Amino acid sequence: EVQLVESGGGLVQPGGSLRLSCAASGFTFSSYEMNWVRQAPGKGLEWVSYISSSGNTIYYADSVKGRFTISRDNAKNSLYLQMNSLRAEDTAVYYCARKQIAELYYYYMDVWGKGTTVTVSS
């Protein structure tokens, strides 16, 4: 079964750090580009970060640039999100999502984890 399982969420104080993990199974993880997407309580979806299959190409949303770092370990079938200098507005459910490509140019997120909750509060 194709599956993504996030972990590492929790309660952290403003200015603190947290590292999220996403364990992939049921597919060849090293062949897929990956994303992190978050959802603040009662709000919509916000794309956070992208990493290519090799890890060589990375993008961030402006809201997290300079504070968050995405990485992956293909040998461990794992995706990570290192979050530093956390703010109250980073409070959200964080999802990892697999990027799928159809007909060479159409990109979409076809597999999602169940999410891990990050709460930034004193």
**Binding of other proteins by 9 (CB under 8 A):** no
Binding mask 48-77 for other proteins (x = CB under 8 A): --x--------x-xx---------------
**Binding of other proteins by 23 (CB under 8 A):** no
Report whether 121 contacts 11 (CB < 8 A). yes
Alpha carbons 11 and 31: distance in angstroms, whole number: 33
Report whether 67 contacts 85 (CB < 8 A). yes
Nearer to other proteins, 80 or 95 (CB): 95
Nearer to other proteins, 11 or 101 (CB): 101
* Residue 81 Cα distances to 14, 66, 67, 69, 113, angstroms: 17, 13, 10, 6, 14
Instruction: Classify strands 92-102 and 116-120 as parallel, antiparallel or unpaired.
Output: antiparallel
Nearer to other proteins, 1 or 103 (CB): 103
Nearer to other proteins, 14 or 110 (CB): 110
Alpha carbons 29 and 79: distance in angstroms, whole number: 9
Applying CB under 8 A, the residues found at the interface with other proteins are 35, 37, 44-47, 50, 59, 61-62, 95, 97, 100, 102-103, 105-110, 112-115
